Amino acid sequence: MAYRQDISHCFGDGLLERADYEKLLAQTAPGLARLRAALSDGSLPLLQLPGTHADLAACKQLAAHLMRDTSALVFLGTGGSSLGAQALAQTVDLYRPVAPPAEGRPRFHFLDNLDPWAMESVLSDLDLRSTRFLIVSKSGGTAETLMQALSAIGRIEAAGGGKYMKHHFGVITEPGDRPLRRLAAQYDMPVVDHPPGVGGRYAVLSAVGMVPAICFGLDPAAIRAGAARVLDPLAPQAGTVEPAAIPAAAGAALSVAAARALDAPMQVFLPYGDRLERFVMWHRQLWAESLGKQGKGTTPVTALGPVDQHSQLQLYLGGPRDKLYTVFTQSLAGAGPRAVSDDPELAWLSGRTIGDLAEAEQRATIDTLIANGRPLRRIAIDRPDAETIGALMMHFMLETILAAGLLDVDPFDQPAVEEGKIRARRYLAELG
């Protein structure tokens, strides 16, 4: 397995009751049976994606179109249409504030938030003659994404590129008569289908994530292979599998047990190293939008080590006992630049690498949280490569679906979000 999960530090005096956890773990059995059936009969399309290769030719074709003679590639999408791609980009250092542009490669920009100044700044700084845009919207009617796309089209036209519009854009959206589909047809933009039965926040293993992954130089088949390994125990030929043998089932039971035991339940996701910073942002949407219904769910909190030792650790150690901690660790020792100093007071740092100190700090944070009676799950990975990130994404999709079963909520809808969309459209009309 590309990752190792350890939940042993969640139980004991003042922590979670193991009996409560084990009862919930047993209750994941029906959810696992439903997942196994769906994997076999295809009734849950997102489970079919890891074993699918037929769509990759179209993904590669669209990626080649976007990367041809390109100085910058701008991703237009929000939520599930963007966060998964951002997480994939970080695995190869192509989306970090400190990451320099790779020599001979285009710059990658994610405009996932509808911020007018950010949009203006990015568009003004680019050579629009060689800038490409990937527009992603499952519904084809996402207001923020359509607004960004129309603004980019207007800027390309103003720069004299109107007759070359199709060379600047690619589209991923569901089939059917949709505003984005009609826009693509108007300008003859190439389109790859978003699978209709896969919700946006679950779509990272579809073209939504695979087209960007190819642009980043990642192997889409390897990403899906990592996800497939997580599903292997649910395959019909695997025989009967106990919930305790499924890491995602253990994670779901642990999360719900913590939600019931803690006063104001929150889950802190703390990775060490920049390469998983957007991954936990991706998880935050998946968890919050899937489970926050009917007064149920837990609040996902994102953090980043070691930097958040200086901004949040005091609260975690000295504040209320209302959080379950999931810490992602990597093998950091020996990595990065080495410190050099002849100052005796800095001897403890001299000769050490950046990774040595980060390794010591992640270990110290884990041990300090445990020593202070905080329930802590550790997920250890060797390296966040294509297979590992695919495995982690499938793990947490399964964990979310199984937790929804324990909470008796639908993990695939988001009824509360629609109310805000309706009001925003009305308020925009009122502007005149």
The Cα-based distances of 153 to 103, 178, 298 in angstroms read 28, 18, 40
Whether the Cβ atoms of residue 238 and residue 295 lie closer than 8 Å to each other: no
- Note the pLDDT of residue 30: 95
- Note the pLDDT of residue 381: 95
Say which of 289, 359, 387, 399 is annotated catalytic. 289
Instruction: State yes or no: is 399 an active-site residue.
Output: no
Instruction: State yes or no: is 421 an active-site residue.
Output: yes
What pLDDT, in 10s, does the model give residues 79-111? 999 999 999 999 988 877 666 666 778 999 999
Instruction: State yes or no: is 289 an active-site residue.
Output: yes
Whether the Cβ atoms of residue 84 and residue 227 lie closer than 8 Å to each other: no
The mean pLDDT of the chain is: 93
- Note the pLDDT of residue 428: 75
Higher pLDDT, 225 or 424: 225
The whole-number average pLDDT for the span 335-352 is 91
What pLDDT, in 10s, does the model give residues 274-298? 999 999 999 999 999 999 999 999 9
Residue 264 has pLDDT above 70, yes or no: no
What pLDDT, in 10s, does the model give residues 22-47? 999 999 999 999 999 999 999 999 99
Residue 177 backbone dihedrals phi, psi, to 5 degrees = -80, 95
The residues, any chain, with a CB within 8 Å of residue 239's CB and separated by 6 or more, are none
- Note the pLDDT of residue 262: 83
Q: How confident is the model at residue 430 (pLDDT cuts 50, 70, 90)?
A: confident
In terms of residues, how long is the chain?
432
- Note the pLDDT of residue 99: 61
Query: By three-state DSSP, how is residue 8 classified?
Result: strand
- Note the pLDDT of residue 68: 96
Residue 63 has pLDDT above 80, yes or no: yes
Which residue, among 207, 210, 187, has the nearest Cα to 89 in the 3D structure?
A: 210
Structure tokens at 255: 């999360």
Say which of 310, 345, 419, 430 is annotated catalytic. 310
User: CA 115 from chain center: how many Å?
Assistant: 21
Higher pLDDT, 63 or 96: 63
- Note the pLDDT of residue 94: 83
What pLDDT, in 10s, does the model give residues 115-144? 999 999 999 999 999 999 999 999 999 999
The whole-number average pLDDT for the span 249-260 is 96
The Cα-based distances of 46 to 171, 195, 202, 205, 309 in angstroms read 20, 9, 7, 8, 36
Q: How confident is the model at residue 343 (pLDDT cuts 50, 70, 90)?
A: very high
- The whole-angstrom separation of Cα 167 and Cα 187 is 9
- The whole-angstrom separation of Cα 223 and Cα 88 is 9
- The whole-angstrom separation of Cα 94 and Cα 105 is 10
Q: Is the link from the previous residue into 384 a cis peptide, with omega within 30 of 0?
A: no
Q: Which domains does the chain have, with CATH numbers?
A: 3-28+246-415 (3.40.50.10490), 49-227 (3.40.50.10490)
Give me the percent of the chain exceeding a pLDDT of 70. 98
Whether the Cβ atoms of residue 90 and residue 277 lie closer than 8 Å to each other: yes
Residue 263 has pLDDT above 80, yes or no: no
- Note the pLDDT of residue 14: 85
DSSP, residue by residue, 302-351: E--BTGGGGTTHHHHHHS-S-EEEEEEE---TT-S-B-----GGGTTTTT
